[in-house]
A and B are shown apart, each in its own frame.
Chain A
Amino acid sequence: MNVAAVLRARWLGTRRALWFRGRPRRGMVGIVLALLMAGTFAATFWVIFGALETAHAPSEARALVLGWAFTFAFVLLALGDLLTVVSAAATAPDLERLLAAPLRPRELLLLKFVETLPRTLGAVAAIALPAAICFASASDGVRPAAFVVALATVWAVPLGLGTALAIPLLRVAPAARLRESVAVLATLAFLGGWLANTFWMPRLLVTTDVAARLRTLPLLPAWSPATWAADALARPGERGLEAFAACIAASLGALALAFGVAERMLTRLQPGAAPAAGTIVRGGSRRARTLTGALLRRDVALFTRDWPVLLDLAARLLLWTLLPLAVLPLTPMPTSELVRDMLVALTLSLGNDIGTRALPLERHALAWARLSPVGGARWVLRRALGVAGLAAGILLAGAALAGAALRLTPPAILDAFLFALPAGATALGSGLLLGALLADPEWRDPRAMLGPGGRTLAALVMLTQGGAWVAASHALGANPVGPGRLAALGAIGAFVVWVLLVVTARTIERREYTAR
């Protein structure tokens, strides 16, 4: 293999995805987002290690925080790398060609490692690197070699293990299904990490005894490469050296395992040759009598049969609803305001996660909105009816559960629900518009139905709306919203939704179908 020529072609492709003909390209958004994420984590770790230094916390405490940061990155990477390898097999347009080329399996694997480097290094650069830098700047005597080896371990071990696991799995399960399952696992891991972090971090920041609070952290598992990486960096003396050696052994062992598995099994892999078999569905002969019925029936089928999307939605809805509980230790608030805020958070998730995905969920079949004699307005209105029905049900259930758990009276629950209703409607309206404008019909990850720019914009819109509604809720405090204000909010919400739906309909009508 002419390694230089092959790598040059890869480099050209990567470079053009970032910058082409003097202009930044879509790939640049990913870098900006990774930098933003790294900046956020760096600020967080800076505060934490600074607080530990001020509190003269023992070195064990710092090692523990570093270990948990590495563990978080490690778990994300382990699932992310598994997903990357499975995706490379399921969707990479060139794998078939590479398998047919006179390449040794280890050369092919090396090529894929180089190609996926930006993705596999992402969590290292965004989480582990800021943690290590902040730790090193707040601690004395950190050895440069340990710094490099610790980060290399957090990168190499998940990559090696993910590859070694993915290749045999791909031989027994359809790649598309496997990718969906891993994506769901990644979502659940993120949910677990987020919940733990959300409830622990605000309580750490408001405590006066950081060291005491840190003692409530569970101990790290002793046989984890993330623990060894943290120990290599943070522990002095013999224990640090042992961890250093363990890191090197684990990294080399994981990579050797990956190359060994590739050598035995990679050439027998059949990229994309095992599509999902298709599920037999009942009731297909039942006909909808109206267009609304047909569109709703289609939407129900698409949502309920795409269980990775469904599970991802459920996880996100739960996350956002619980978010106000996380800030409770920092900002005590009346129960009625807390329930309102929880419902507002839920509605924002409905807008951001259901609204923005409602149209992209159709993928290329969205072309029927332009091809069929159904106008954009009818298409969008019926789509909005479908998601509004779903969202209203979720919101009602959320209001009942939150109100009952926090012991609100039924009138207070109704008051909170009616306050959240226009928030939800406007969030759904803006979500539909963003979905119509920025859908990526080629999406493969259920969490990325909009392009990176679209997701960033959707997040900004969501935060802006959330800020406004939470401010309104805060201004009301413990008082009920009352019929007058509710009517005014309802009227404003209805008008905004009408404008958003009209613009969305025009967008759908004007959206040309240019995909190849």
Chain B
Amino acid sequence: MTSAGARPLVIDALTRRFGTVTAVSALSLEVRAGEIVGFLGANGAGKTTTLRCASGLLAPDDGRIEVAGADLEREPRVAKARLGLVPDRPFLYERLSAREFLAFVAALYDLPADAAARRAEELLARLGLAEIASRTIEGYSLGMRQKTSIAAALLHSPPLLLLDEPLNGLDPPSARLLKTLLREHAHAGGGVLVSTHLLDVAERLCDRVVILRAGRVVAEGTLASLRGADHERSLEDVFMELGGSGA
């Protein structure tokens, strides 16, 4: 499915405007196979816009996005089949059960029905949703909805996972489980781009972080490289210096 050796995500000089406001300006970044990249920035820095552009929900005004070797503009269906998105606000059908919803998503991604059913049951069980999976989503809590959304993104085992504040509404065990799932996904050769406000999570989970400010990348690298010579500095110190004082 993925072009051999292709990087899960390459964003090159992405620009996106809303009227007179430039939300993202000439942003470039990449996510390599087996890597979890943390996407940090203050409110309004352009993280959600970038993730929405990378997933095809928004069209860029300028720049190029490549998902696992497929150009999102020229081969949108191929590129979209290679990514999974966990949005900040899940896209769910309230009157479907989680099981029905995952069956529907499997059909969208043209997965073989039986294999998809097995994969869905496996994810539902791991995420602790198996017992309520036959209940319609309208009765789910915020955390359950988020977990359903995570299951939908992982269902087709995409080379690229994009997650926008995925820990919202998750209890500590679920948050830990999600981190394990992301780590497993990366170990299997996938790439992960995760936006979060939780700097300690980024510090412990991510191989690399990208810090965004006013729609531009202001720093990028491993935590060690961002700390520089001062090993006592935390990610919070780095973030506050570079991107934390607002958009």
Contacts and interface: CB of A to CB of B under 8 A. Distances in A.
B242 interface: no
Contact of A512 (B58, B100, B110): B58
Contact of A287 (B55, B95, B114): B114
Contact of B58 (A284, A295, A297, A514): A514
Contacts of B97: 280-281, 284
Nearest to B80: A373
A485 to B, nearest CB: 41
Contact of A371 (B78, B85, B89, B99): B85
A290 B111 CA distance: 10
Most chain B C-beta atoms within 10 Å of own C-beta, residue among A282, A298, A515, A516: A298
A302 to B, nearest CB: 5
Contacts of B245: none
Top 5 closest pairs, chain A to chain B, by CB: A278-B139, A294-B107, A284-B99, A287-B113, A513-B57
Interface stretch (B128-136, B168-176, B182-190): B128-136
A370 B57 contact: yes
Interface in A335-386: 362-365, 367-368, 370-375
Interface string B58-89: 11000000000000000011101100010101
A275 B108 contact: no
Nearest to B83: A371
Interface string A479-516: 00000000000000000000000000000001011111
B138 A278 contact: yes
B178 interface: no
Interface string B103-116: 11111111001101
Contacts of B85: 371
A288 interface: yes
A279 B78 CA distance: 36
A277 interface: yes
A176 B138 CA distance: 10
Given A276-B138, A294-B104, A373-B109, 15 more contacts: A275-B139, A279-B136, A280-B135, A280-B136, A287-B114, A295-B104, A295-B107, A302-B93, A367-B87, A371-B85, A373-B77, A373-B81, A375-B76, A375-B77, A513-B57
B56 interface: yes
A289 B103 CA distance: 10
Q: Chain B: interface residue count, which band? A: 35 or more
B96 interface: yes
Given A279-B136, A291-B107, A291-B108, A362 B93 contact: yes
B137 interface: yes
Interface residues of A, number: 44
Most A C-beta atoms less than 10 A away, residue of B85, B96, B114, B116: B96
B138 A290 contact: no
A371 B55 contact: yes
Contacts of A288: 103-104, 107, 113
A373 B107 contact: no
Given A285-B117, A365-B91, A305 B136 contact: yes
Contacts of A516: 89
Contacts of B59: 510, 512
Contacts of B91: 364-365, 367-368, 371
Interface in A240-287: 275-282, 284-287
Nearest to B77: A373
Contact of A373 (B78, B92, B132): B78
Nearest to B89: A364
A364 B96 CA distance: 14
A514 B87 CA distance: 12
21 contacts: A276-B139, A277-B139, A278-B132, A278-B137, A280-B134, A287-B117, A288-B104, A288-B113, A291-B107, A294-B103, A298-B93, A305-B95, A363-B94, A364-B89, A365-B92, A370-B56, A371-B80, A372-B108, A373-B78, A375-B77, A516-B89
